[in-house]
Amino acid sequence: MGQYVDYYCENECRELNKIINNILQKRFGWVLQKDYDDFYDIGLQVVWKCETSFDETKGATFHTYLIGCLDRKIKTYVTRMNRQKRSLRDEKGKILHDISLENLVNAESGVKLEDLLTETKRVDVNEYSENFERYLNNLNKPQRMIATLLVRGYNTQEIKDRLKMSSKDYQINFNALKRYENISLLHIQ
């Protein structure tokens, strides 16, 4: 192995585990004890990859480079874990219904949330029925107006013009449309 892998993995990976514990503490506050082994395994993979990809000519120390790589990898792992938790699965583990932002707003209509929020498809508001009404009722007035106009096929600039809204205000309200507590209302069955 290389010098960095040897250093971070000696004494039962004490140095590597300290870094991982700090990242978990700062980013998430706490993690279940049973999950630490998964994060330590990820750390071993990352330190090895960092050893092979580290370029000291770029001005960063290996330690700094490793922390950045570990932070990104751990964040990605936790995101995937949370998506899996939000999925309704059958007894064989097949995903039946997923309430992550990338998936269907309404299984019957086949309309994706992505279509709703990125204006890629014209949609009839009536297709959403009760779930869409519940979703709209959970939004404030500007957010409701944006969602309704998006579903009717207006593009971003048309909405901002029509509502006399700045780009910043539009983005703040648009981001609220995608919040989990709002999106989850679209998936109630």
CB 76 within 8 A of CB 23: no
- Model pTM score: 0.49
* Percentage of the residues of the chain whose pLDDT score is greater than 70: 73
Q: Which two tokens stand for residue 180?
A: 């989990």
CB 83 within 8 A of CB 98: yes
Q: What is the pLDDT of residue 168?
A: 92
Return d(Cα 177, Cα 136) in angstroms, integer: 9
**pLDDT 10s digits, 36-94:** 888 999 999 999 999 899 988 888 899 999 999 999 999 888 877 776 666 656 677 66
**pLDDT 10s digits, 11-25:** 888 899 999 999 988
pLDDT at 123 over 50: no
Phi, psi of 57 (to 5 degrees): -75, -10
What residue has token string 């140095």? 15
Q: Taking each helix axis from N to C terminus, what angle separates 62-85 and 36-53, rounded to the nearest 10 degrees?
A: 140
CB 130 within 8 A of CB 138: no
CB 138 within 8 A of CB 182: yes
Q: What is the pLDDT of residue 95?
A: 59
Q: What is the pLDDT of residue 84?
A: 66
What residue has token string 């107006």? 145
Strands 111-112 and 104-106, how do they pair?
antiparallel
Angle, vertex CA 134, rays to CA 128 and CA 138, nearest 5? 130
Lowest model confidence (mean pLDDT) among 28-37, 62-71, 108-117? 108-117
Q: What is the pLDDT of residue 67?
A: 93
**114 pLDDT band (50/70/90 cuts)?**
very low
Return d(Cα 179, Cα 79) in angstroms, integer: 15
